[in-house]
A and B are shown apart, each in its own frame.
Chain A
Amino acid sequence: MTTTLPLRSTDIEADPVPRLPSAARLALKRGAMELKGFFRTKGQFIVIFSLPAIMLMLLGAMSGSRAGLPGITGAQILTAGMIGAGIMGTSFQNLGINIALERHDGTLKRLYGMPMPRVAYFGGKIIQVLVCMLAEVALLITVGVLMFGVALPTTVNQWLTFTWVLVLGGISCTFLGIAAGSLPKSTRGANAVITLPFLIVQFCSGVYIPFSDVPGFLQIFASIFPLKWMTQGMRSVFLPEQAVVLEPAGSWELPMVALALGGWCLLGLILCLKTFRWTARDDG
C-alpha cells in the first residue's frame, strides 16, 4: 500500500498489522444496531413491545374482581399470563417476523458477503431479544403491581423460579423464532404467518382467560407448546400459594415446567440448525 492513495483513512493505515475485529465486538455492534432498528420500526415496536402492556391494562380493567378465590383477582392471573406472552412475543414473534423481513430485504445476503463471523449475527439478535424481553417483563410487572395489586415475589425460591422460567422460556422461544423466520414466503405474509399461530397458542395457554376455563382438549393442545408452561411457572411466582387449586393439575408442576421448557430449548436448537439458511434457495 502506498500513502498517496487519496481515499484510505490515514489513522487506520498507521496500524501495520490490520486485524479482523473480534466476534464479540461485532456482536455488540450488531446488538446496538438491532435495538435501534427495533425501536425505530413502528410496526414491530407497537405490536410486539407495547401491545402486551395495553392488553393487560384493558383486559385487567375489564376482568374487575371476578375471581375464583378470595384474595385473587382475574387481573393478577392475567398479569402472570401476559408476562409469559411478553417473553414469547419479544423472542418468538419478534425474531420470526424480523428474520423473515431480513431474508427478503437482502440483510442476510449482505451480511453473508461481509467479513462477519456468523456467530456475531446471532449474538446481536440475542442482545436485542434480551434487552427487549427484560424491558417488556419489567413493564408488565410494573403495570400489574401498580394497577392490579400484584405482589412481587418475596422469597429467594420464587425469584429463582422466575429466573429459570424466564431463561428457559426465552431461550426456547428465541430458537423457535429463528426457525420460524424461514417460514414466511414474502414480507407481507410474515406478520400473519408468525402472529396468527402465536395468538391461537396464547388463547389456549391461558394468557387471556384463566387456564382452568380453557376446554380440556385445548388444554392438552396447549401443553404441546412452551407458552402454557411459561405462564404456569409465572403464576407460581406471582400468585398467592392458595391459587394453586385453580390449576387443572392441582399443583404448579414445576419439574414438568422445567422439563417441557428444557425439551423445547433442545428441539428449538435442532430446528434452527436444520432450517436456517443465509443464502437464497437455489430455485432461481
Chain B
Amino acid sequence: MSDTAVRVRELRKKYGDVTAVDGIDLDIARGEVFALLGPNGAGKTTTVEILEGHRRRDGGEVSVLGEDPSRAGRTWRSKLGIVLQSATDAAEFTVRETVHHFATYFPRPRDPESVIELVGLSGKADARIRNLSGGQRRRVDVALGVVGSPELLFLDEPTTGFDPEARRQFWSLISLLASEGTTIVLTTHYLDEAEALADRVGVIAAGRVVAVGDPATLAGRAEAEATVCWSTPDGERRIKTSSPTKVVAELIAQFDGEIPDLTVTRPTLEDTYLGLIGEHP
C-alpha cells in the first residue's frame, strides 16, 4: 500500500472557453487531513469532483488510492466517502431509513445507528429528511459520507449552514475519523475551520495552487513580522518587528511591571490567505 492517497500532476479542466483548473499539482498522504482553500470559482469543487470521479479532466495525471478515478470500479468506490455540496435528495425518507439503506451498499459499513448518533441526529432519526433544518440536512450528508467506513473522505464545504455548536461537533467528528487513520480532503471557506482541522492546507486561486503547507507556517506566516501593541497615557502604541521578544524585554525594563494592554500578534491565517489570493486575482 502506497503512502500517497492522492497524487495530482498538471491537472487541467475547461468549461467551454473558461479555464477552471489550470495546472494543479497536489500530493496528499494517507492519514492526512488536507484542506483546499480558495475563493468561489477558484476551482476547488471542480478539482474535488475530478478526484471523486464525478467529472472528467481535460489533461494531467490523477491517482486516487492508486487508481485513476475516470476508470476505477466499484471496489475503489467502496473505499471512498463523498459528502456532496448541495444535495436535497431522499427528502421523503427518514434519517434512519436513509442511513440504513446506503450502509447496505458497502462491504464493511459502520453500524448505521452509531453513525446517526455520531453526527448528532439521534433525536431526529425518525424525522423525514425534508423536515430537517439546513444544518441537520448537511449532517445527514456527512452520515452518508462516513457510513461506508471510507479510507478517504471528501467533504465539499461541509459546515455551510451549521450553527457554531454543530460546527464544533463536526470538527470533533473529523478529528475522530482522522485519529482512526481516515484520509480527509475538505474544501472550505472558513479559515478557522482549516486551521482547526487540517494538517496541511492548499490555497487555490484562479485554477492554480498558490501555496501549500501547514496552516501555522503557510507562506512564511511564522517568520512574518509580528505586531507588538500596548497602551501609554498618550494612547495606543504599536510596533511591527521581526524580533518581538526583544521589544517586549525593553518594555518590561521601561514599565518595571505589567505592561498595559500588551498583545503580540502574528498575521492570522486570514491575513495570509487574503494576501495570497490578492496576488492572484
Question: A residues near B, CB below 8 A?
Answer: 5, 7-9, 12-13, 15, 18-21, 25-26, 29, 33, 36-37, 40-41, 102, 105-107, 109-110, 112-117, 279-280, 282-284
Contact partners of B101 in chain A: CB under 8 A: 29, 33
Q: Does B194 contact A (CB under 8 A)?
A: no
Closest chain-A Cβ to B134's Cβ sits at a distance in Å of 14
Q: Tally of A-B residue pairs with Cβ under 8 A?
A: 104
Q: Does B102 contact A (CB under 8 A)?
A: yes
Q: Does B75 contact A (CB under 8 A)?
A: yes
- The reply to whether A7 and B87 contact each other, CB–CB distance below 8 Å, is no
Task: Provide 24 A-B residue pairs closer than 8 Å at the C-beta atoms, listed in order of the A residue.
Answer: A5-B180, A7-B110, A7-B111, A7-B176, A8-B149, A13-B108, A19-B107, A20-B106, A20-B107, A33-B97, A36-B92, A40-B93, A102-B89, A106-B84, A106-B87, A109-B54, A109-B84, A109-B87, A110-B84, A114-B105, A280-B55, A283-B16, A284-B15, A284-B18
Contact partners of B82 in chain A: CB under 8 A: 110, 113
Q: Does B91 contact A (CB under 8 A)?
A: yes
Question: B residues near A, CB below 8 A?
Answer: 15-16, 18, 52-56, 74-75, 77-78, 80, 82, 84, 86-93, 97, 101-102, 104-111, 114-115, 118, 144, 148-149, 176, 180
Which chain A residue has the least Cβ–Cβ distance from B16? A283
- Docked complex Cα distance between A209 and B105 (Å): 48
- The reply to whether A116 and B149 contact each other, CB–CB distance below 8 Å, is no
- The reply to whether B92 and A113 contact each other, CB–CB distance below 8 Å, is no
Q: Do A112 and B54 contact each other (CB < 8 Å), given the known contacts A8-B149, A9-B110, A36-B93?
A: yes
Closest chain-B Cβ to A117's Cβ sits at a distance in Å of 6
Q: Do A110 and B92 contact each other (CB < 8 Å), given the known contacts A20-B78, A115-B78?
A: no
- Given contact pairs A20-B75, A113-B82, enumerate 8 new A-B contacts (beta carbons under 8 Å): A5-B180, A12-B109, A36-B93, A102-B89, A112-B54, A116-B74, A116-B105, A284-B15
Closest chain-A Cβ to B82's Cβ sits at a distance in Å of 4
Contact partners of B75 in chain A: CB under 8 A: 20, 115
Q: Do A105 and B105 contact each other (CB < 8 Å), given the known contacts A8-B149, A20-B78, A110-B144?
A: no
- The reply to whether B114 and A7 contact each other, CB–CB distance below 8 Å, is yes
Q: Do A115 and B108 contact each other (CB < 8 Å), given the known contacts A7-B180, A40-B92, A283-B15?
A: no
Closest chain-A Cβ to B172's Cβ sits at a distance in Å of 13
- The reply to whether B93 and A37 contact each other, CB–CB distance below 8 Å, is yes
